[in-house]
Structure 1
Amino acid sequence: MMKFTYKFSLLVFILLSIFSYAQEKKQFSNVSTILQNIIPNIKTDFWVLIHKNYGKDNVIKQSGAVKDYISQSSGFNIGIAEEDEFYYIVYSSGGKTEYITNLDGLKKFIGKVDDIQDAAIFATTEGYIIDEEFRDIAGNYYEDKSNYYLDLGKLTSKECPYQKKHFTLTVSKSAGTITNVKDNGSYIELYNKKCTNNPRLLKIEKKEEHKDEPKKSTRSTKRK
């Protein structure tokens, strides 16, 4: 009986260890690394991933013998980007040079979701972002046999207040689609002086209103 109990306990421990390992979250390294892991869904003569920052082209990845191409003035981002910063892809298929400068084109270039990098890129085409500054809540993932689980952010307002929320997305490995979205709430909410709905500003205005109100007379009237 003791031998059976020992074996059973050992089996439970192993299964729990495997489950815990499978649930361990890993952070995405950075946007460039994710994009470098792209495997095109089409046959290409060559393809090159370019990061353009303040007018300067930096080749991030090159596959095949690259021919002359035209530097692009716009592109895509899958994370929080600085102003005048974006990525674009140049590729040749059947001798014809093509350019990818938006997320829809990137999605078609990747095709089916084959790994976690593809899943992350696919999610960004649906409006989510990999927030490198807050990877603990909006830039990590884990997976099991059936799904990828990604914690990503989304810019929900550029107006007052500037706001970012974070979500947990379930991406099916077999279908390559998002099957569930869990809203985890806001993790950034920024107000500035121009925001009419700034809580701090409203408190100040309320105090000023009270100051301007005429003081009530405290003098009592005597009865005759």
Structure 2
Amino acid sequence: MINNSRLEYIFIRSCILFLHYLTPVSIIYTAFLIVSYSFGIPRPHIPLAINLIAVAETLFYFVVFLPYSAYLQRAAVHPPVPSRPERKALFEKCYKFIPDPDTYLDRWFLGAPQEEIKRENVKEFIQWAFFNCAGEPGDDDEELEEYVDAYETLVGRKFEPGRGKAESLRLTLDPIDMLHRSLACASALLTCSPTSGCSAPGSIFTAPRSPASSHCSPSAHKPS
């Protein structure tokens, strides 16, 4: 068990720094190995284990991480858009189960100030939630305005016209930000404890989540 001494703190921070920069250093070193072998450039004697680690980290980044990152950015597969009466019924059902409308907006708009959540921002969010799309509303604008009016009644105030700086969380449209974990980090997780070992495969790639992701939305369909 690790305690709270300064020496142990320095040790942990050093390990984090090492794991953080291991992949870029490995890529540079692997590129150097390829060039040196190709052109016969003299190189210092490096233990075979270090060469293998560098090559493994490089392959893991280019063969596993980058393709998986691209795979996760593919467009979500949405269900067929319901008819207008079905959308209205769904909206009214959701409307009844929002106990705190201000908190609801705060979570889905990632804690943005209320003054930055304007009418167009709310329309954009409702368009995703009930129409499974983004962009110009076209013929659906009248229906969207109706839903925004209803939500204004729920919160007890009018939304300012226009668009504010707030960005809503739209789970099936937003890009997924990937954070790389080195192969060595994954291996360390696998060997630290049975609990962390079980979760390690899913921990190699981290997609940051917001507390809002725990709040249900009519459009929360995952890509297939």
TM-score where L is the length of structure 2: 0.27
Which has the higher Rg, Structure 1 or Structure 2?
1
TM-score where L is the length of structure 1: 0.27
Which is richer in helix?
A: 2
